[in-house]
Chains A and B, each alone.
Chain A
């Protein structure tokens, strides 16, 4: 605890004024001028209290001697045990500039549209549990310093008979300095959430003094700096190549293109990297659901918020019920057009739509597989496999913008299904071409659907948590039952109707499977972190 020089009371960092303020006598102090007795002895380390959560094992660091009664990471209400510890000082800190009230406001803004999130994610009593945490980051400083680089430039002209390529040697001197390319250094703070609340503006960084932590939780880094250091090097090399391209391609050489691999650029520009520890401000909230937690994070400097919210099954079912009522009128109109052949038309439509559901299932499971294997999170990947993961930028982008990238493919595929389906259907159902031919086309569709569903099932069994969910198997079973019905009684309207209903139910259970899987991945197991910190007093103070 940091004591007031005037009255001896506890002084806490006040977000609005950016100073340490005494609760009792209202005196204020610059954080740089407030030190503890032992701080001056060792410049590289500072003394703090570490609390340990008996529920999840997380160690919690604190600048106050009051024990917290709530673990931020596993969301358990428990009394934390404490001990005095010496921690290595980070190089920089970006102090909080957004208060808890502002952070809640930002969170409410982004969750306005999350209509399927469980209600407890909006309750004021829950939002009050937002904790201010200084998250550890690696700040990479990249330097490029070469007095004589030699890279290749290419110029190409297309002519009628062929193409002429001219190669050039480009020499020169480069001086580059990149600071503040930052990556989170905590295993349990997911790269995805960290990237979604980025950026932190490095120009507002301050030299670290332990007094900045007074009133806040803090985590120390547990991810080695080497996990991410290839990324800032790559960024710096790409920028340098772009700048060189602009500088070189002038006058008579305006068509010269500089082609340079990352390794070549590192060698030619003499690119080196140095990592420095830093603490960045993050407002953090965890919701406990079925022994797992969902996290909400808000950038404590800019107020940018991000979260992964589960879907409330109850809200989903209510929305389905309401949407069913809405869609009922146009559906009824459609079937009144084919009054006498309604069950057969219904079966055809079910077969077309179910194909779409099974294709959707396949793509969704594929995406979830990427998330589940942590292959988009370099920190977690390193902890799991002990290998530095070089992120595939394109793959990561496609994961993030899945719907945007695959939207065209999905729509095209759906269009093909609809066009082919309508073509076959118009000959069999509408024009009443022989029942035998109709049966053959239906069987082809059913078998096609079974194949699609089985492909989805095979992909899903590679997922760890699939053993809990057998929705896709219900989908397959419904298709098998429909096959039997069609073989035994394909000309009976009620039998065909029952087949269509079975397919509909099978698809519904398959989609429910996807929702359960989404919920499984949007929440996480309580973490087991090394050290963090906190102070419950600050929460009420920094409102």
Chain B
């Protein structure tokens, strides 16, 4: 009986200090989430205007790449 209690106590203690550690870490660097919307380019708060004009596209060169057997097999599996 005493061994069972000691084992239970120390296992509970182990689970406690690990789980409380995670809890403490997760709550120790609080910051406001508002305005944290996806800002892919880091432009929040700034102003920009970017315009392209007279865009022309010319074909330059074409290249044909022959697939290896493995690549074909992979494509077939997909």
- A-side residues, CB < 8 A to B, are 106, 109-111, 113-117, 144, 152-153, 158, 160-182, 196-203, 231, 235-236, 238-240, 242-244, 247-248, 253, 256, 302-311, 316, 319-328, 330-332, 334-336, 339, 342-343, 345-346, 349-350, 353, 356-357, 360, 403, 493-494, 497, 500-501, 504, 507-508, 511, 514-515, 518, 522
Contact = CB atoms under 8 A, between A and B. Distances in A.
A320 B65 contact: no
A168 B57 contact: yes
A316 B43 contact: no
A309 B24 CA distance: 10
Contacts of A336: 4
> What 10 pairs across the A-B complex have the smallest Cβ distances?
A199-B45, A323-B16, A180-B46, A327-B12, A306-B31, A199-B44, A176-B50, A346-B7, A172-B55, A332-B8
Name A's interface SS: helix
B12 to A, nearest CB: 4
Interface residues on chain B, size class: 35 or more
A316 B24 contact: yes
A162 B66 CA distance: 4
A113 B30 contact: yes
A116 B19 CA distance: 13
B32 interface: yes
A310 to B, nearest CB: 7
B49 A307 contact: no
A349 B8 CA distance: 11
A116 B28 CA distance: 7
A411 B14 CA distance: 18
A175 B64 contact: no
A377 B21 CA distance: 26
Nearest to A94: B45
A256 B56 CA distance: 13
Given A199-B44, A307-B31, A334 B11 contact: yes
A181 B46 contact: yes
Residue from the set B7, B35, B56, B66 with the largest chain A CB neighbour count within 10 Å:
B7
Interface string B27-58: 11111101100010111111111111111111
B32 A173 contact: no
B8 A335 contact: yes
A484 to B, nearest CB: 19
Contact of A350 (B14, B35, B46, B75): B14
A162 B57 contact: no
Nearest to A504: B10
Contacts of A319: 16, 20, 23-24
A173 B53 contact: yes
Nearest to B51: A175
A231 B43 CA distance: 11
B58 to A, nearest CB: 5
A335 B17 contact: no
A353 B13 CA distance: 12
Contacts of A161: 66-67, 72
Contacts of B57: 153, 168-171, 248, 253, 256
Contacts of A500: 7, 10
Contacts of B47: 178-180, 202-203
B31 A305 contact: yes
16 contacts: A110-B32, A113-B27, A158-B75, A163-B64, A168-B60, A174-B51, A175-B51, A197-B32, A200-B45, A244-B52, A302-B35, A316-B24, A321-B16, A331-B11, A346-B7, A360-B18
A243 B66 CA distance: 33
A508 B16 CA distance: 10
B60 to A, nearest CB: 5
Contacts of B67: 161-163
A174 B52 contact: yes
A221 B63 CA distance: 53
B52 A311 contact: no
Given A172-B55, A173-B52, A324-B9, A198 B30 contact: no
Nearest to B14: A504
B8 to A, nearest CB: 4
Contacts of B48: 176-179, 236, 239
Contacts of B28: 114, 116-117, 308-311, 518, 522
Contacts of B54: 171-173
Contact of B12 (A114, A164, A309, A324): A324
B10 A346 contact: yes
Nearest to B12: A327
A353 B46 contact: no
A359 to B, nearest CB: 12
B14 to A, nearest CB: 5
